[in-house]
């Protein structure tokens, strides 16, 4: 029995299939934790979703910003962007089944002593608060008012968490932290303009995981999202977006009770340019 953390797939189903083969993955024995951005930019988003649905409980999947974007485009909240590759899902005969499955997925998980998110955790949040706040958004996405939520999801303000936030402002901060954040200040103000590596942090900001007072610093946190950061392995931190869709690798790390095991990768040549 093995547990694996897997970075951003972004519609690269062939690479995901080869990675699972390399892992000798068995749904009856093993569990794969996918850290979000299951779809978009790659060529086979619908195939990725179908593969993961078929794996059932053996695939535990987080929602990333691209996954939420797909739901918004499907609801007519946002138009597809020029570089989106979502048409295969939107035109699929099983479109509604795929989209329904997607919006049942969580924004955070804590299993095997590892906190899993797509992008980041605000420094003031504990592990339990992160899970509770993610649960608020998950309940909305799974409920009858999810389309209204998607209409108010976009935007970068407020840029800082406050326990007194309510309504759309509250859910927007939660979504932005969990699915978009790279840099923030020491007091938790998020910055969304910079998308390069951690060495080029804007003045007054730093990678969210380097904030000295971060409450989750003693918990293993695994995340994806940041392809220009690439693979980062520290004692209590694991970044796994290794740019599969941009011609890099799709990466997996075996998880053993809050500890990182060995790294497994497959190459994924693509003709894309780095982006989100």
pLDDT tens, 254-265?
Answer: 998 777 889 999
Domain ranges of the chain: 3-267
Please state which architecture CATH assigns to domain 3-267.
Answer: 4-Layer Sandwich (3.60)
| Alpha-carbon torsion (228, 247, 256, 47), positive or negative | positive
The per-residue pLDDT for 271 is 46
Pairing status of strand 108-111 against strand 114-117? antiparallel
Please give the model's pTM, rounded to 2 decimal places. 0.95
Q: What is the pLDDT of residues 6-18, one digit of tens each?
A: 999 999 999 999 9
Contact 43, 96 (CB under 8 A): no
Cβ-count burial 224-249 (b if 16+ within 10 Å, e if not): bbbbbbbbbeeebbbbbbbbbbbebb
Contact 204, 193 (CB under 8 A): no
The string of DSSP codes covering 109-133 is EEETTEEEESS---TT--HHHHHHH
pLDDT confidence bin for 269, thresholds 50/70/90: confident
Q: What is the pLDDT of residues 30-84, one digit of tens each?
A: 999 999 999 999 999 999 999 999 999 999 999 999 999 999 999 999 999 999 9
């Amino acid at each position: 029995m093995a547990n694996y953390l897997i970075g951003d797939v972004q519609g690269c189903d062939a690479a995901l299939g080869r990675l699972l083969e390399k892992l000798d993955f068995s749904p009856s024995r093993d569990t794969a934790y996918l850290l979000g951005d299951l779809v978009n930019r790659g060529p086979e988003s619908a195939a990725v979703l179908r593969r993961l649905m078929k794996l059932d409980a053996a695939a535990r999947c987080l929602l990333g910003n691209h996954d939420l974007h797909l739901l918004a485009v499907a609801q007519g909240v946002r138009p597809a962007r020029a570089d989106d590759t979502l048409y295969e899902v939107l035109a699929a005969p099983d479109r509604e089944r795929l989209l329904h499955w997607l919006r049942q997925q969580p924004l955070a998980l804590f299993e095997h002593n590892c906190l899993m998110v797509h992008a980041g955790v605000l420094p003031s949040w504990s592990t339990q608060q992160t899970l509770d706040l993610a649960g608020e958004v998950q309940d909305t996405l799974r409920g009858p008012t999810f389309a209204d939520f998607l209409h108010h999801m976009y935007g970068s303000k407020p840029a800082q968490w406050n326990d007194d936030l309510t309504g759309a402002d509250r859910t927007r901060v939660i979504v932005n932290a969990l699915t978009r954040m790279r840099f923030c200040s020491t007091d938790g103000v998020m910055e969304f303009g910079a998308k390069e590596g951690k060495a080029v942090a804007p003045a007054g900001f730093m990678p969210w995981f380097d904030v000295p007072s971060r409450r989750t610093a003693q918990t293993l946190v695994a995340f994806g999202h940041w392809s220009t950061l690439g693979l980062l392995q520290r004692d209590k931190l694991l970044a796994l977006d290794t740019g599969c869709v941009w011609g890099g690798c799709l990466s997996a790390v075996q998880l053993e009770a809050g500890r990182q095991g060995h790294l497994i990768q497959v190459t994924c040549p693509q003709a894309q340019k780095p982006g989100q």
